[in-house]
Amino acid sequence: MKLRLGMIGGGQGSFIGGVHRIAASLDGLYELVAGAFSSNPDTSRATGQELNLAPDRVYGSYQEMLEQEAKRPEAERIQVVSIVTPNHVHFAPAKMALEHGFDVILDKPMTFSLAEAKELRTVVETTGRRLCLTHTYTGYPMLKEAKQLVAAGALGTIRKVYIEYPQGWLSTYEEGGANKQAAWRTDPTRSGAAGAMGDIGTHAFNLLEYVSDLEVTQLCADINVVVPGRQLDDDGAVLLKMNNGASGVLVATQVAAGEENNLRLRLYGEKGGLDWQQADNNTLLVKWLDKPTEIRRTGAGYLSAAALHNSRIPAGHPEGYLEAFANLYRNFALILMADLGGPAAPPEAADYPGVEDGVRGMAFIESVIASGKSEQKWTEFTV
């Protein structure tokens, strides 16, 4: 059994659309059968042709796709919609897809604003459909292991949290040329209220709350526009206060020249700490107060069921970003297939980001920007 997938966005020149298609295909649980790949009908048709889709399943707009697919026989129509558009085209197609009876896989951040995020949460609740938000990094096996260690109390009460996401690709004014990604990610009419904090800061925020199982209650942000002429933040740091009394720091920058995507998370409790970074994502360092540091590796038999469920190959064979992305697609598929009367999904499959993560992500963006503009600085985190 394969779930029939339709895609909105991801046309020619898209980076993330190709990633989503690889992730969806990796485990053989989805079949891409339809798409509205661009707001330009010609581009959508050309993309559909490249992907060998039937011409009558390639649409000129997402509205047309959702309306026409809903009219098809139940055994033929799409079942899941993957939305891989810029931020300002997340809410409307997601809402329409849910209301037409389709489950949704949605790129982050979930919406353009917190108000839209809250409304989308209501739509999910009202329709009873499911939504998966692609916070990719939660799919890494060793971050599943980290989460299990924290949940088991192995580190004791968490006291200090650090997360940093440095990039360097926007160190110069890239949006002034042909760089399509730079153009929309730095445009407030398409990206939203935040630049770097929305693009990668939300990833860092989500990962921190996911692994620590804590929630941010207050924050104090320093937000910067470093490159002259840029309209949105490209650099920032945030002091955090968590709901258990722990404090933390979040750094997100896209002007760290020479940096690629070395997202790094460190947590420290009473008994020990954790250290993970994407540059060596198959390794988790577990640091103890009174004994040597442990090096835990992806695929090893001593790992938790959650980590092993999200690993595909034996230890020593690297797994990376695409596999982590595919874990979200696979876990979501296993839950949807169980909904359709298929085999019961393992409990580990229910661990994927959803609509509540999306609401908190938008609350983070708006709280950070408010704090960055405020003279008072410390801002209550409200959802």
- State the pLDDT at residue 154: 98
Three-state secondary-structure class, residue 9: strand
- State the pLDDT at residue 246: 98
| Edge-first strand listing for the sheet containing 158-166 | 294-297, 283-288, 272-277, 264-269, 158-166, 247-253, 235-242, 216-224, 379-380
DSSP 8-state assignment for residue 380: E
Listed in sequence order, the residues at least 6 apart from 206 whose beta carbon sits closer than 8 Å to its beta carbon are: 108, 135, 137, 138, 353, 357, 360, 361
The tokens describing 327, both together, are 């874990």
- Asked if the 3-133 domain carries CATH number 2.160.10.10, the reply is no
Do 300 and 313 contact (CB within 8 A), yes or no?
no
DSSP calls for 178-243:
T-HHHHHHT-TTTT-S-SHIIIIIHHHHHHHHHHH---EEEEEEEEE--STT-SS--EEEEEEEET
Listed in sequence order, the residues at least 6 apart from 375 whose beta carbon sits closer than 8 Å to its beta carbon are: none
Encode burial over 316-326: b for 16+ CB neighbours within 10 A, e otherwise. eeebebebbbb
- State the pLDDT at residue 383: 87
Which among 219, 234, 153 has a CA at the least distance from the CA of 360?
219
DSSP calls for 76-103:
TS-SEEEEES-GGGSHHHHHHHHHTT-E
DSSP calls for 236-282:
EEEEEEETTS-EEEEEEES--TT-----EEEEEESSEEEEEEGGGTT
Token pair 């393992």 in the structure block, residue? 346
Q: Distance (Å, rounded) from C-alpha 220 to C-alpha 371?
A: 6
- State the pLDDT at residue 315: 94
Do 252 and 266 contact (CB within 8 A), yes or no?
no
CATH 3.40.50.720 domain extents, the chain: 3-133
Q: Distance (Å, rounded) from C-alpha 64 to C-alpha 157?
A: 52
Token pair 């876990």 in the structure block, residue? 331
The tokens describing 377, both together, are 């600085």
Q: Distance (Å, rounded) from C-alpha 60 to C-alpha 44?
A: 6
Architecture of domain 157-269+359-373: 2-Layer Sandwich (3.30)
| Edge-first strand listing for the sheet containing 131-133 | 30-36, 3-9, 80-84, 103-106, 131-133
Give strand ranges (E) for 289-361.
294-297
Listed in sequence order, the residues at least 6 apart from 222 whose beta carbon sits closer than 8 Å to its beta carbon are: 236, 237, 238, 372
Do 39 and 28 contact (CB within 8 A), yes or no?
no
Token pair 């939660």 in the structure block, residue? 138
pTM for the full model?
0.95
pLDDT in tens, the chain (383 residues): 899 999 999 998 888 999 999 999 999 999 999 999 999 999 999 999 999 999 999 999 999 999 999 999 999 999 999 999 999 999 999 999 999 999 999 999 999 999 999 999 999 999 999 999 999 999 999 999 999 999 999 999 999 999 999 999 999 999 988 898 999 999 999 999 999 999 999 999 999 999 999 999 999 999 999 999 999 999 999 999 999 999 999 999 999 999 999 999 999 999 999 999 999 999 999 999 999 999 999 999 999 999 999 999 999 999 999 999 999 999 999 999 999 999 999 999 999 999 999 999 999 999 999 999 988 777 788 88
The tokens describing 332, both together, are 């979501």
Q: Distance (Å, rounded) from C-alpha 124 to C-alpha 363?
A: 18
CATH 3.30.360.10 domain extents, the chain: 157-269+359-373
